[in-house]
């Protein structure tokens, strides 16, 4: 009798677990200095300004790899914000470089101004696919912003915020 109950208990406990694990939105906010460009006063027109900032969100994804090797990364928000008018920015290209794995610089996001209205916040459009994001976001990164436009005459800093989340499916047999 005891053997039958024990065998039934074991058979009842053996099974599968299917779960979706979602890492809530993780954000990194930093400030990037926008210097006054040294421009020939006789030249009128757009200039290019390049500035870089570190991004440290890799710990979130490193912890996720303790549970699974495959997961999807989703960029939920990527903005540049300031109290000053940012409408001088005609376009932005953002590239990313891994500080560890010697991965090549790749494009992460872009922005193109559509009108001349007053702007205090710019939403960048992600152009990197989820698989590449996973590969890069596993390590500390450097973001490089290439801004084009006719800048103001004084230097200032803008705040950049990048938020990501991750999702994975876990299937375990007990």
Rounded Cα distance, 143 and 164, in Å = 15
Q: How far apart are the first and last CA of the chain?
A: 25
Nearest to 95 by CA among 111, 112, 109: 109
Q: What percent of the chain has pLDDT above 70?
A: 78
In angstroms, what CA-CA distances link 67 with 21, 130, 134?
Answer: 10, 19, 15
In this prediction, residue 8 has a pLDDT band, given cuts at 50, 70 and 90, of very low
Residue 21 pLDDT more than 50?
yes
In the chain, domain spans? 18-173
And the tokens for 168? Answer: 């994975």
Where residue 99 falls (left for φ over 0; alpha for ψ -120 to 50; beta otherwise) is: alpha
Rounded Cα distance, 73 and 68, in Å = 13
In this prediction, residue 5 has a pLDDT band, given cuts at 50, 70 and 90, of very low
Task: Give the phi and the psi of residue 46 in degrees, each rounded to 5.
Answer: -65, 150
CATH code of the domain made up of 18-173:
2.60.120
């Amino acid at each position: 009798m005891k053997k039958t109950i024990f065998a039934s208990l074991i058979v009842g406990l053996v099974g599968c677990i299917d779960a979706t694990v979602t890492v809530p939105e993780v954000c990194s906010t930093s400030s990037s200095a926008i210097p006054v460009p040294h421009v020939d006063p006789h030249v009128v027109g757009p200039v290019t300004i390049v500035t870089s900032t570190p991004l440290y969100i890799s710990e979130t994804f490193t912890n996720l790899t303790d549970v699974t090797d495959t997961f999807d990364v989703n960029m939920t928000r990527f903005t540049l914000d300031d109290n000053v008018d940012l409408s001088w920015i005609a376009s932005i290209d953002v590239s990313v470089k891994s500080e560890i794995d010697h991965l090549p610089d790749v494009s992460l996001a872009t922005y193109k101004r559509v009108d001349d209205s007053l702007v205090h916040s710019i939403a960048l459009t992600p152009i990197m696919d989820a698989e590449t994001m996973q590969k890069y976001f596993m390590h500390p990164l450097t973001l490089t912003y290439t801004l084009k436009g006719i800048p103001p005459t004084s230097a200032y800093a803008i705040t950049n915020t990048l938020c990501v989340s991750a999702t994975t499916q876990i299937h375990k047999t007990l």
